[in-house]
Structure 1
Amino acid sequence: MSRRDPNRRDLNRRDPSRRDLLHGTALALAAAVVPTGPARAAPVTIRLGYGEVPGDISPLLFEKTEILRHYGRSYTVEPIYFQGTSVALQAMAARELDVSYIAFSSLGLAILNGGLDLKVIADVAGWSSKGHQGPEYLVRADSGIATLADLRGKVLATSARGSGFHYAMLANLKKAGLVEKTDFTVVEVRLPAMEATLREKKVDLVTATPPFLQTMERNGGVRRLFRPEDAMGEVQSLVHVARAEFLREQRAAVVDFLEDSIRALRWFLDPANQTEAAEITARFTKRPASVYQGWVFGRGDFYRDPEKTPDIAALQRNLDTVHDLGVLRRRVEVAPHVDLAPLAEAKARLGTN
């Protein structure tokens, strides 16, 4: 008669905890092999290039996720900051971005020189359109600079060479008969540092945009000298572009992205939400909400089309200006590089077409 090893467990006399464990394992295995319907695909990550907030509010539109319908379901957004759109363009060329803000100037260069297949898909911002505030070029009130001609021999600051700010500056100075490098020097300064650079007399003229424009004027001692539209008319300053390949492969996610963008933009532009919108902007930029209260998303801010529809006619005129400056070796026709079909589908869902 065999003797049972006292250290050996009798698998036919399992304890309740082991029985429950094996039962749960069996159920899990069964669930794994029994079809339960199609699995939901993982959300598409849209790598989104953006600039200074609130000049470019693109990342803010995805901060209040409770008003979005598709975020986290069909797509998510990875916002990536770039000091200027000319730098963002390099990231697009390196396939490090899928959608990005791009100035009219960088778009023209991308079409001619970059070998990139980009499509304009939406509006980001316009300068001084519909009575809204755009960028201003400021000098010190005590500088003795009263006209553009007085900038001869001076040092002028822009956020980035090749940016819309840079070419709008050059267009105005060309009207005054001044040429870069020959008659004046241009240096790069980040927009938040413009005020200190001007007051410390390191430069003679700066580019000022909201909220830095408002802060500089509250502090006093500065004077507006000219604006982009003085030489260019209305400016479609920033647009969203997508890599054509990404647009083809992830069109459904892009439509959802645009639909949510419009939905969020409407919320931010609603005066009833101004206080909370300013607070969201303040949290994102790590600045006091008081900096934004009373003007952000209103007429003291850049113009943003409520349906994100870009002004293609203005964009073409702006590109023609860059060509006239000698930056583009030939005139660029923008129409072949525009695809507003995804935006139209997004607007149709929202009942705005």
Structure 2
Amino acid sequence: MKKRAALLFALIACQGLAQAQDVPTLRVGWTIPGEEAKYLMAKRPELFPNLGKAYQIQWTQFQGTSPMVQAMRAKVLDCATMAPMSLANGAIESGLKAYIVAQHVHSDAGHFSVYWAVKEDSPIKTAADLKGKVIGTNAYGAGVYFDMLLWLRQNGIDPDKDVKIVETGFPPAADAIRSGRIDAGPMAQPFALLNEEKGGLRKLFSLSEVASPSVQIFEGCSQEYSDAHPDVVRAYVQDLKHAMSMMNKDPSLAVEVASQVTRAPRELLSKYLFTDKDFARVPDMQPDLDSIQKTYDRYHEAGFLKQALNVRDFYRADLREDTP
């Protein structure tokens, strides 16, 4: 009897192991900030009906969207966070083929937009006052950087001749302004809120002046992987949408998991996450293809992109359909 029980247990264990091994693994890249849907899936997987059943996830953190694009091109990732410019450069320079499957955050007139600040008592009041000054940016080649160049051009400033542009990143930008190392620098959350509460700085211009709405980051999945495993990608997208829906109804969920991931205090995060002080979010994470197309058109016209792109080449609508 004991032998039969042991044999039965072994068979059940082997069957469970085989079933676990049959669940496909999706390799997903992520970064900080703006990806609360992913944070919730990583920290609270029990909330999602498809995760662990239709697929499982191998999470890998990166320092930005450009390295994730490179990793997808090298077939190290199946899905990852992308910005319009990182996807465009990947497509043009290395032949990356990816589908835009979900939108994480965007900026518009009613929500937060990255802005440039100066000292409270700075004589810089208009774009013209920036001539001969030093301007900080988060990173050369990022979408924020290119939109800053467009704002300067639109306001009569030649970025190559009239100003000096240096990399500061977002976290050190405020200190760089206060110390005089730069005259104007970029503010993104939560650093914007921290420095608004600290005082001593004021907003000079916002990127919403260049375009509104403007998509900041979205989820992209390899076309090769998606075409071969559409059901896996659909299940993943449905879970992303479920995460966003839950957090829109209960922002404390976003605060909880964002605090775990970023180690930022909940008290700070609760002041802006999922409020009008934060980037805007689409409840069902539907990508704003028209906005992305306009970004590509602006960048191509300005000479930032070597060739024109059609955003529809990066979209497959059925990947967003409900799984059976």
What TM-score, normalized to structure 2?
0.89
List per-residue Cα deviations over 1:50-90 (Å, max 9, x = no partner).
Answer: 3322x332431312223211112222333333333223222
Choose which of 279, 291, 298 in structure 1 pairs with 2:268. 291
Q: Tell me the secondary structure at the aligned position of residue 264 of structure 1.
A: helix
List per-residue Cα deviations over 1:89-122 (Å, max 9, x = no partner).
Answer: 2222222222111111222222222211111111
- Per the alignment, residue 92 of structure 1 pairs with 72
Check whether the contact 1:59–1:79 (CA below 8 A) recurs between aligned residues.
no
Q: How many Å apart are 1:204 and its aligned residue?
A: 2.1
What one-letter code is carried by the residue in structure 2 that aligns with 1:266?
A: S
1:81 and 1:304 map into 2 onto residues whose CA distance is 22
Choose which of 197, 200, 203 in structure 2 pairs with 1:221. 200
Residue 46 to residue 194, structure 1, CA distance change in 2 (3 Å): farther
1:50 aligns with 2:30: yes
Q: How many Å apart are 1:27 and its aligned residue?
A: 5.7
1:25 and 1:50 map into 2 onto residues whose CA distance is 43
- Per the alignment, residue 116 of structure 2 pairs with 137
Choose which of 295, 316, 322 in structure 2 pairs with 1:339. 316
Taking the TM superposition and a 5 Å limit, the aligned residue runs for 1:4-153 are 31=11, 39=19, 41-53=21-33, 55-62=34-41, 63-128=43-108, 131-153=110-132
- Per the alignment, residue 298 of structure 2 pairs with 321
Gap regions ≥5 residues in structure 1: 1-18
- Larger-Rg structure: 1
Check whether the contact 1:48–1:78 (CA below 8 A) recurs between aligned residues.
yes
Aligned residues: 321
1:205 and 1:45 map into 2 onto residues whose CA distance is 45
More moved, 182-191 vs 230-239: 182-191
List per-residue Cα deviations over 1:114-138 (Å, max 9, x = no partner).
Answer: 2111111111111126x22221121
Residue 153 to residue 287, structure 1, CA distance change in 2 (3 Å): same
Gap regions ≥5 residues in structure 2: none
What one-letter code is carried by the residue in structure 2 that aligns with 1:118?
A: A
Q: How many Å apart are 1:194 and its aligned residue?
A: 2.5
2:92 and 2:155 map into 1 onto residues whose CA distance is 28
Check whether the contact 2:36–2:254 (CA below 8 A) recurs between aligned residues.
no
2:119 and 2:320 map into 1 onto residues whose CA distance is 43
Residue 253 to residue 101, structure 1, CA distance change in 2 (3 Å): same
More moved, 191-200 vs 312-321: 191-200
Check whether the contact 1:120–1:340 (CA below 8 A) recurs between aligned residues.
no
What one-letter code is carried by the residue in structure 1 that aligns with 2:212?
A: G
- Per the alignment, residue 240 of structure 2 pairs with 261
Q: Tell me the secondary structure at the aligned position of residue 307 of structure 1.
A: coil
1:79 and 1:186 map into 2 onto residues whose CA distance is 35
Q: How many Å apart are 1:310 and its aligned residue?
A: 0.8
Q: How many Å apart are 1:218 and its aligned residue?
A: 0.7
Q: How many Å apart are 1:25 and its aligned residue?
A: 6.4
1:84 and 1:187 map into 2 onto residues whose CA distance is 18
What one-letter code is carried by the residue in structure 2 that aligns with 1:202?
A: R
Residue 28 to residue 209, structure 1, CA distance change in 2 (3 Å): closer
1:154 and 1:90 map into 2 onto residues whose CA distance is 34
Residue 56 to residue 24, structure 1, CA distance change in 2 (3 Å): closer
Choose which of 203, 207, 226 in structure 1 pairs with 2:182. 203
Choose which of 240, 245, 262 in structure 1 pairs with 2:219. 240
Q: How many Å apart are 1:40 and its aligned residue?
A: 5.2
Taking the TM superposition and a 5 Å limit, the aligned residue runs for 1:296-315 are 296-315=273-292
More moved, 71-80 vs 108-117: 71-80
* Identity between Structure 1 and Structure 2 (%): 26
List per-residue Cα deviations over 1:184-207 (Å, max 9, x = no partner).
Answer: 233333322322232232222222
Check whether the contact 2:36–2:257 (CA below 8 A) recurs between aligned residues.
no
Q: Tell me the secondary structure at the aligned position of residue 192 of structure 1.
A: coil
